Amino acid sequence: MDLSYTPEEEEFRARLREWLAKVLPTLPAKPPPDDWPGRRAYDLGWQRMLYDAGYADVHWDASPTTRLIFLEETEKAGAPYVGAGFVGLLHAGPTIAAEGTDGQRARWLPPILRGEEVWCQGFSEPGAGSDLAALRTRAWRDGDDYVVSGSKIWTSHAEVADWCELLVRTDPTAPKHRGISWLAMPMDADGITVRPLRTLAGSAEFADVFLDEVRVPVGNRVGAENDGWRVTMVTLSFERGTAFVGEVVACRRVLGELARAARENGRWDDPVLRRRLGRLEAEFRALWRLTQWNVSEAEASGGVPGAGGSVFKLRYSHARQELYDTAADVLGPGALDLDRPWVLDRLSALSYTIAAGTSQIQRTIVAERILGLPKGR
Amino acid sequence: MRFQLSEDQRALQAGVRELLERRFGREALRAAVDTPGRLDRELWRALGDAGFFALRLPEADGGVGLGLPEAVLAFEEAGRALLPGPLVATHLAAGTVPGAATGETVVAAVYGELVEWLEAADVVLGDTGDTGGTGNTADTGNAADTGDTRGAEPLRSLDPLTPLHRVPAARDAAAAAPLADLLTAAEQLGTAVRVGELAVQHARTREQFGQPIGAFQAVKHLCADLLVRTETARVAVYAAAVTADPADIAAARLLADEAAVHGARDCLQVHGGMGFTWEADVHLHLKRAWVRAHRGGGSTESEELLAARLAA
């Protein structure tokens, strides 16, 4: 058991810190949350800066520990989040790198790294949420094209994306996990309609995407036909190990801000609230240790994240909600004012126990895959 | 950063588990339940021989020369085996109280208002029982202060495996005892691990409605939550053993208490009616977890310490 870093890792951290201190003051102001074209330009600009400084491929090529340090330091320094580049850098890119042909890698990977193209994720459908494999969007062959019809939902930044990693059903007669294929769909193709979807936080975070006989070249298929489910599992596994590093660091910062705010407004004198903050501090310390543990495990196993990801996700998504509920106690009546800090975060935290596999699905995964309990109802 | 068990640590863990299975298996456990208040001196000396108490003493002083992480792994196994006796106090007294390191002397300590194993102990230490700061070397100064047990009244202990006395609470408020807290957290972790094993074992084998109850989602989710609490506590306890930071230790204590107590209750629930009987071991784990949760300041002090750290 060792929590110290190697000299090389410490050097990476020091260089990164130095670079962040130099470049962050030069960044323009962050665009408002609903200004997607503005956010696209801002996030891609940041990615380009990372590229020029040699940090662009940290999500792909660096060791898990180096990635942990990168995410920790960028969050601590208040650097922009990966934002509009998320799907390209953390989902589609790694999938194409692992499963694509040389030609596909050459076509799609460099623009992701250089911050030139944005990807969105066309996985979920109205009838296929937690049961993703139940998706029904159809694709049939017509010459050198697939013709795609159906609809997708919860597609983040679809209106500013250049590409969509799309899951389609290419064999409706096969068992549901078998007849699926993974396509790269250009978002400017004919037949695509994007309708922004307003969330309970008031923002247009997601979109509905309607597909009406959209033609996608067969050459845009990554992996074999009907092998898309396995390809997708490769994608999702990238999310587990270090996906929440920046968020845990951010939550710990928020906790410190809550303590300061509580001291300023006098709520610190309430021992119940104070102890609740103390317990949250224990919680987020442990979540940070769990991250380090999972990263060490991934490193030992050659980069493959273990089942610890589900354990982390379950605990973290509830802790995050508890954090912002406690923020509301610190704010008092201010908790009802959308202009106050933390109020929107409280609303958006509601999605954490639902997105990327609900807590109920995660518990079933933990019980069946880690504890070996029998499958059933 | 290699925040995983080393080969040596795995070997130590396996060795302690094997020793405890041999010396304190289920039969010995149930025999101990039937003879409350009796501390098995032979077992105590066997623990001493195996280096359980002298684990962190330097080799030059006749110890094993290992560190806090190793001690934590050993105490996790002790918790898993439900090993009775003032293990934490005796371990912390090794090097300062003659005979503690070898298991010849049984050392108890006053924690707040409670003393465990007062009558079986040869020596009772004062409030903290902490003799070694946060390092490995024991401070040979004033640590062997005799604990003030004047006015101690026996309780009819909830835990059949831990005799308890209550002392008047007039003395200083419990001083911080980080090492005792950390080792207690390690024992609680062991309890959480064990009740998790028992719950899963039962869920796999007990059939109702024509299938193992573990196939039912409600039971699955109880078991999954149990595991999540245990694994979260585990990393907190291990990290605190590496850093020895009082705030890390306070966090470890909070999460391990929660994992043990809540886990034992969930395990009891998974066992259904059987869990409510004296014959099932679940209640013994729960009761011990409750006793340990009261050791020292309990959760209030840990929470206040962490809150103070936040506001600093």
Residues A310 and A365 in one domain: yes
Mutate to test the interface with A, among B226, B303, B304, B309 (most CBs of A within 10 A): B303
Residue A231 falls inside a structural domain: no
Residues A140 and A216 in one domain: yes
Provide the CATH number for the domain around residue A333.
1.20.140.10
Q: Given a cut of 80, is residue B142 above it in pLDDT? A: no
**Residue A264 appears among annotated catalytic residues:** no
- Total domains present in chain A: 3
CA distance A247 to chain B (A): 17
Residues A125 and A192 in one domain: yes
pLDDT band at residue B1, thresholds of 50, 70 and 90? Answer: confident
Contacts of B294-297 with CB under 8 Å at 24 or more apart are B294/B112, B294/B114, B295/B88, B295/B111, B295/B112, B295/B114, B295/B116, B295/B180, B295/B184, B296/B111, B296/B112, B296/B174, B296/B177, B296/B180, B296/B181, B296/B184, B297/B112, B297/B174
A244 interaction partners in chain B (CB closer than 8 Å):
none
A35-75 per-position pLDDT tens digit: 999 999 999 999 999 999 999 988 888 888 999 999 999 99
Cβ <8 Å between B231 and A1 = no
Residues A109 and A124 in one domain: no
Residues A343 and A251 in one domain: yes
Model pTM score? 0.93
For chain A, state the CA radius of gyration. 21
Residue A16 falls inside a structural domain: yes
Q: Given a cut of 90, is residue B298 above it in pLDDT? A: no
CA A55 to chain CA centroid, nearest Å: 19
Q: What's the pLDDT at B171?
A: 54
Pick the last residue of a domain from A113, A135, A155. A113
B64-104 per-position pLDDT tens digit: 999 999 999 999 999 999 999 999 999 999 999 999 999 99
A288-327 per-position pLDDT tens digit: 999 999 889 888 876 555 567 889 999 999 999 999 999 9
Residues A335 and A293 in one domain: yes
Q: Given a cut of 80, is residue B141 above it in pLDDT? A: no
A258 interaction partners in chain B (CB closer than 8 Å):
310
| Mean pLDDT of the region A27-38 | 90
Pick the last residue of a domain from A97, A113, A129. A113
The values of phi and psi at residue A139, to 5°, are -135, 125
CA distance B206 to chain A (A): 12
Cβ <8 Å between A374 and B215 = yes
Q: Which of A129, A180, A138 is nearest to A358 (CA)?
A: A129
Select from A281, A283, A300 the Cβ nearest to the Cβ of B310.
A281
Provide the CATH number for the domain around residue A187.
2.40.110.10
Q: Given a cut of 90, is residue B222 above it in pLDDT? A: yes
Residues A309 and A342 in one domain: yes
- CB count within 10 Å of CB A351 equals 18
Residue A237 falls inside a structural domain: no
Residues A101 and A188 in one domain: no
ipTM of this predicted complex? 0.93
A125-139 per-position pLDDT tens digit: 999 988 899 999 999
Cβ <8 Å between A283 and B231 = no
CB A292 within 8 A of CB A360: no
Residues A210 and A259 in one domain: no
Output the six-digit token pair for A367.
Answer: 């019980």
For chain B, state the CA radius of gyration. 19
Range of the domain at A365: 244-370
Please state the three-class secondary structure of chain B as a single string.
CECCCCHHHHHHHHHHHHHHHHHCCHHHHHHHHHCCCCCCHHHHHHHHHCCCCCCCCCHHHCCCCCCHHHHHHHHHHHHHHCCCCCHHHHHHHCCCCCCCCCCCCCEEEEECCEEECCCCCCEEECCCCCCCCCCCCCCCCCCCCECCCCCCEECCCCCCCCCEEECCCCCCCCCCCHHHHHHHHHHHHHHHHHHHHHHHHHHHHCEECCEEHHHCHHHHHHHHHHHHHHHHHHHHHHHHHHHCCHHHHHHHHHHHHHHHHHHHHHHHHHHHHHHHCCCCCHHHHHHHHHHHHCCCCCHHHHHHHHHHHHHC
Q: What's the pLDDT at A292?
A: 94
- Residue holding tokens 């107590």? B261
Query: Counting beta carbons within 10 angstroms of the beta carbon of residue B3, is it exposed (0 to 12), middle (13 to 18) or buried (19 or more)?
Result: buried
Residue A233 falls inside a structural domain: no
Mean residue pLDDT across chain B = 91
Residues A83 and A149 in one domain: no
